[in-house]
């Protein structure tokens, strides 16, 4: 009996360790990209999700007579609640910027995925969890690179927020037209008055992925009638 208990405990420890390793791989990907939810957060989610799943499944077998009678409780009920709970954590990294663009969706999805990996390991599905992490990292890192190399022009562009200041309403149109010639695409334009003699043009511009911000600044600074330039990448 003692040997059986020891084997069970060893199996649970292996599950926790595997969950931690897979969580480490996912967390490193986010950490290297300097995301708000990085290595430590992903590790905690993966390990604790695995632990709660183990507790949920094993506790069903600790009920009186459950080893010999039909188990009537759902052993994965607690694990199902993990997915909903982690969703709130992921929502915390989804941000709406001043230009109304949304960021953080990939990180939120990966946080949710890390919980799923922990649940899968906790339930004993090692191969499925390992393959899932492999596909996850492949889809986040390798697939975008391959698509980029295939030559889809839209995917070669990145968005940058550009704010410029001009001192006359009459110059606004000409400044916008000059900016359009220096960038790949202008996605959004907003114009507002700062003072009676200052007018701010806020633009979401699309430039090539390899475009150096310093070089872009130099190009835009050559445009006449611009008093101030601000680039936010």
List the one residue out of 79, 65, 66 whose CA is nearest residue 15: 79
Q: What is the pLDDT of residue 49?
A: 84
Q: Are 29 and 106 in contact (CB under 8 A)?
A: no
Which residues, at least 6 apart from 78, have a Cβ–Cβ distance to it below 8 Å?
52, 53, 55, 56
Please tell me the number of Cα atoms within 13 Å of 163 on its side-chain side: 11
pTM of the model: 0.55
Q: What is the pLDDT of residue 1?
A: 43
List the one residue out of 220, 223, 225 whose CA is nearest residue 205: 220
Cα 208–213–214 angle (5° rounding)? Answer: 135
Mean pLDDT, contiguous 10-residue spans, the chain (233 residues): 60 86 83 71 81 77 53 64 74 61 70 83 84 82 70 68 88 89 86 83 85 85 87 80
Rg (the chain; Cα; Å): 26
What class is the 154-232 domain?
alpha beta
Q: Are 179 and 205 in contact (CB under 8 A)?
A: yes
Q: What is the pLDDT of residue 69?
A: 46
Annotated domain spans of the chain: 2-150, 154-232
Which residues, at least 6 apart from 45, have a Cβ–Cβ distance to it below 8 Å?
23, 86, 89, 111, 114, 115, 118
159 strand-pairing partners: 206
Helix (H, G, I), strand (E, B) or coil at 130: helix
Q: What is the pLDDT of residue 135?
A: 82
């Amino acid at each position: 009996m003692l040997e059986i208990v020891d084997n069970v405990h060893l199996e649970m420890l292996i599950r926790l360790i595997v969950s931690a390793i897979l969580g480490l791989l996912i967390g490193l990907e986010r950490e290297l990209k300097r995301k708000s939810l990085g290595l430590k957060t992903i590790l905690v989610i993966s390990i604790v999700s695995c632990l709660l799943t183990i507790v949920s499944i094993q506790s069903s077998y600790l009920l009186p007579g459950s080893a010999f009678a039909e188990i009537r409780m759902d052993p994965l009920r607690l694990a199902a609640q993990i997915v909903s709970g982690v969703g709130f954590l992921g929502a915390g990294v989804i941000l709406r910027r001043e230009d109304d663009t949304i960021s953080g969706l990939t990180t939120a999805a990966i946080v949710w995925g890390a919980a799923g990996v922990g649940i899968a390991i906790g339930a004993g599905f090692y191969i499925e969890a390992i393959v899932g992490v492999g596909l996850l990292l492949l889809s986040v890192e390798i697939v975008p690179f391959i698509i980029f190399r295939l030559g889809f022009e839209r995917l070669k562009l990145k968005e940058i927020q550009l704010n410029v200041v001009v001192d006359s309403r009459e110059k606004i149109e000409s400044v916008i037209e000059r900016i359009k010639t220096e960038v790949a695409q202008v996605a959004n334009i907003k114009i507002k008055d700062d003072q009676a003699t200052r007018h701010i043009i806020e633009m979401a511009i699309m430039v090539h992925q390899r475009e150096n911000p310093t070089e872009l600044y130099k190009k835009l600074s050559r445009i006449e009638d611009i008093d101030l330039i601000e680039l936010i990448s």
